[in-house]
């Protein structure tokens, strides 16, 4: 009996060592132990397999979630394991929600509506930072396009004194410079037309 128990203990120690080294497929060989000892070893193997099956299922789901596939759900687990199910459901729900926020903002931007904002207060940590960043993008774009629109409306009214002023960056800075250059060119053209008109009127008066 002592020898058999020592054998069981040695097998358990070897399995623990193998698992610590990453060989989680290792199981004790129950054929070395007779009767109830064999059953005890098989029970231990089954317990380890059960825990590893849950872990592998979690890994499988996370691999799908990591590439954006949210079609799979964690199966309900009993007892204290239910915390794992809840954690995975929360993860999926948050990923789905943040995906919805991004998609909604992208659709609004594609439709030319930059007034829409995501609900950043609904999220925490990096998810909140993501929505805040998208909101800043929408706000900046909306403000810069509003300045361009304001300048164009002024030109349409014939006000060539209007200019885009402000601290713009990147493509918006080029838009500002191009718009201001356009107004300057129009001002020059109008000035030359006015000069030509004056000259023509003077000549016409002299001819008359």
Average pLDDT over residues 170-199: 86
Q: Packing angle between helix 170-207 and helix 125-156, nearest 10 degrees? A: 0
- List, in order, residues 6 or more apart from 132 with CB less than 8 Å away: 120
pLDDT at 3: 86
- The pLDDT assigned to 170 comes to 85
Alpha-carbon span 101 to 179, nearest angstrom: 33
SS3 191: helix
Picking from 9-13, 155-159, 183-187, which range would have the lowest pLDDT averaged per residue?
155-159
CA separation for the pair 6, 100 (Å, rounded): 58
Over residues 17-60, the pLDDT tens digits come to: 988 888 888 888 888 888 888 888 889 889 898 889 999 999 99
Radius of gyration of the chain (CA): 36
Reply yes or no on whether the pLDDT at 4 is more than 90.
Answer: no
End-to-end Cα distance, the chain: 136
pLDDT of residue 166: 79
Burial of 202 (0-12, 13-18, 19+ CB in 10 A): exposed
Q: Per-residue pLDDT for 134 more than 90?
A: yes
Given a cut of 90, is residue 62 above it in pLDDT? yes
- The answer to whether the pTM exceeds 0.95 is no
Q: How confident is the model at residue 105 (pLDDT cuts 50, 70, 90)?
A: very high
pLDDT digits (tens, 9 = 90+) for 138-153: 998 898 888 888 888 8
Q: What is the pLDDT of residue 204?
A: 86
pLDDT confidence tier of residue 131, bands split at 50, 70 and 90: very high
């Amino acid at each position: 009996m002592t020898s058999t128990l020592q054998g069981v203990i040695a097998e358990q120690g070897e399995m623990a060592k193998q698992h610590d080294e990453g060989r989680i497929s290792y199981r004790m060989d129950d054929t070395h132990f007779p009767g109830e000892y064999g059953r005890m070893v098989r029970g231990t193997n089954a317990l380890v397999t059960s825990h590893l099956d849950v872990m592998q299922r979690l890994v499988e789901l996370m691999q799908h979630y990591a590439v954006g596939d949210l079609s799979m759900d964690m199966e309900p687990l009993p007892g204290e394991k239910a915390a794992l199910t809840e954690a995975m459901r929360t993860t999926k729900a948050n990923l789905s929600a943040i995906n919805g926020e991004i998609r909604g903002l992208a659709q609004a931007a594609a439709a030319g509506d930059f007034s829409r904002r995501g609900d950043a207060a609904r999220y925490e940590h990096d998810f909140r930072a993501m929505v805040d960043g998208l909101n800043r993008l929408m706000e900046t774009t909306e403000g810069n396009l509003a300045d361009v629109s304001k300048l164009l409306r002024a030109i349409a009214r014939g006000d060539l004194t209007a200019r885009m002023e402000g601290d713009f960056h990147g493509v918006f800075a080029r838009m500002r410079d191009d718009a201001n250059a356009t107004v300057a060119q129009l001002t020059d053209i109008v000035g030359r037309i006015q000069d030509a008109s004056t000259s023509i009127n003077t000549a016409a008066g002299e001819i008359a």
